[in-house]
Structures are given as structure tokens and as C-alpha cells.
A = this chain, B = another copy of it.
Amino acid sequence: MAGSSFGECLKITTFGESHGEAVGVIVDGVTPGVELHERDIQIQMDRRKPGQSAVTSPRNEYDIVHIVSGIYEGKTTGTPLTVILYNKDMRPEAYDDIRESFRPGHADYTYLNKYGLRDHRGSGRASGRETAGRVAAGAIARKLLERRGVQVVAYTKEIGGIACRTFDESEIERNPVRACDPEAAAKMVDKVVQLASVGDSCGGIVECVVRGVAPGIGEPVFDKLDAELAKAMLSIGAVKGIEFGAGFAAAAMQGSEHNDAMSADGFLTNHAGGIAGGISTGQPIVFRIAVKPTSSISVPQHTVRVDGEERIIETRGRHDPCICPRIVPVVEAMACLVVEDMYKRQAALRN
């Protein structure tokens, strides 16, 4: 109800503010008896952390995974699995200037209107830092999906108007923007570094592919697999849109072109993006998300104070000039959570 939980059978609840004592997550409904170690989670946390390269924030927010419950002798117990990440390198004083002002592009104004008060330090719950708990939970879901033969991979497809033209999965983790095309990646890095140098930021497009999902996964009507994925992705702060398969291009297609015909060997195309009627077809699930340019920039901007007076604001601090590379593990985490949850829902229906 209050929005900090996600999932039905595999349910996560995140907690913690950007500049509070800790952030973290409880994962309830984990299959018992599955081997799980802190390093399984740490690997994913390290992909999300800032300071990985010139294109990410230099904050030293290094997250050490701490499992507090739900593991016994190296295996999941089936009880709530809690991961805590204590906040380090907090500099709340860096935010004193913005205590009484609304930063453009941020949730300052809306949080104040919703709650009647706000924790102004680093956006509180609206901070990207909240996603640390999601990535931890996603790493657990990924372990459960491995047993089903499901793989989830996301990557940057476009940044600041520069699009990937080739796809080489092995390149993704080798370049700082996590793009699937090394040539495009180099241009993207140049563009981001240049924008960062003038205190500005840019957006991009991230694509995600889920392979190995059996046909028949997903619920009909309201909890369609694509509907749940859409909710999951739009729940990530910087995401402003999502499309499946042919996506918005389908708007200009004809049925005879868009329909995925079948042969004895299976589907001949995948315009649907691996989902029909909200249920997996067995083909790869493919979707893309639109990532807005990071709101925190040091270019002067017009805004107002809490008392309504106009002012010019220059957000200082250490921020990501483009969030795409760091959003990639968050997208994967949320996709893992949705798909594993849907497998469990299917088990409930059929058993």
C-alpha cells in the first residue's frame, strides 16, 4: 500500500534513506535450501556502485553486503532474507544549501506535498541509493532463476543520441557505459565526459533480454508479464518509458507484418518481444527503457524556495553525468524479481 514492497510470491521490501544510517531489503518467499553466499550478492552490488569510471559519480559509497537473516549454513532457509548496506561517506552538509529550495528534475517538491515534510539530504527515499536493496534482492532472484535455466542481461543501447549498431554481449562489461557495441561505447564515453566537464548530463536507452523462460509464464489480464515488467521498470527513478519487442515502431506497422508467424520450428519473428497476451512465448523477452538525463547538474537553473521566492540553484555534489551504466544492474535485478515471481505464481496455479 505505501509502496515499498514489490512482488507477490517472492516479495521484497526496501528501506532506508540516502543519507540515513543504512539502506537494505527484506526478501520473503525465497525457495528454501538454495546455496547462497554474500559474494553472490556482492558481485551485483559492485556493478551498481559509483566511482567505477570517469562516467560515474566519484562518491565512495562502497557497499559491503551484510546478510542479517534467512541463511543457515550457507543455504536459504525460506524465511525472510535481510540484506543491510550501511551508508558510508555521507556528507549531509553538502545538502544544506538545498534544504529550503526545490531542485529541478528532483522529487523535492512532490515529496514535500505528499508527506508535509521531507528529508532533504540526498533525496531521502527518492534517491537512486534506494536501488541498492533492489540489486541485492535481484541477485537472490537470479540464483533462483539459474536453477530454471533463465538468464537476464541488460546493456546500454543508446546514450545522448549515439546508438549501438552491433551487438556483442561479451563487450558489455568491458566498457564503462555497458554498451553492447564497443565503437559506439567509445563515442558515448567522450560525449558523457564532455557533458560532465560543463556540469551537464544526458539520457539514454537501455535494453534488456531475458532468455530461457519457458512458454506459459505470466498472468492474464492485469498482471501480464509485460505489465509487471513495465511497473518494475517505471519504478526506477530515471525511467520515463518502456517498449516491448517492436514497441513504438509497431504503431506504424501492419498486422500482416507485426504478427509473429509460426513454423514447425517455432516462431519466425519476435515482434512481440517474447510475450503474447501477457504470457511468455518461450522466445527471448526483449524490452527497452528510456532513461532521462540525470537531474543533478551544476548548470545554474531557475527554481523557487519552499516559501515561493524565486532563486537560481546550482546543485553541487558528486553525481553521475549519465546513469545508464549504473541502471543496467538495477534493470536486471528488477527483471529477475519479476520473472522468478511469475514462475512461483504459475506453480501456485498449477499445483
Contact = CB atoms under 8 A, between A and B. Distances in A.
Q: Which of A21, A33, A105, A309 has the most CB of B within 10 A?
A: A105
Given A69-B16, A110-B276, A261-B303, A118 B77 contact: yes
Contacts of A240: 226, 243-248, 250, 272-273
Contacts of A234: 224, 226-227, 229-231, 242, 244
A210 interface: no
A348 B347 contact: yes
A30 B202 CA distance: 36
Q: Which of A258, A290, A349 has the most CB of B within 10 A?
A: A349
Interface stretch (A1-9, A44-52, A179-187): A1-9
Interface in A1-44: 1-6, 8-9, 11, 13-17, 20-24, 26, 28-33
Q: Which of A29, A33, A275 has the most CB of B within 10 A?
A: A29
Contacts of A233: 230
A70 B117 CA distance: 12
Contacts of A259: 104-105, 293, 295, 297, 301
A260 B313 CA distance: 13
A82 interface: yes
A138 interface: no
Interface string A191-231: 00001000011111100000000111111111110111111
A106 interface: yes
A215 to B, nearest CB: 4
B29 A117 contact: no
Q: Which of A218, A242, A248, A281 has the most CB of B within 10 A?
A: A248
B104 A262 contact: yes
A318 interface: no
B16 A28 contact: no
Given A33-B115, A77-B119, 4 more contacts: A105-B260, A107-B220, A241-B248, A261-B302
A165 to B, nearest CB: 16
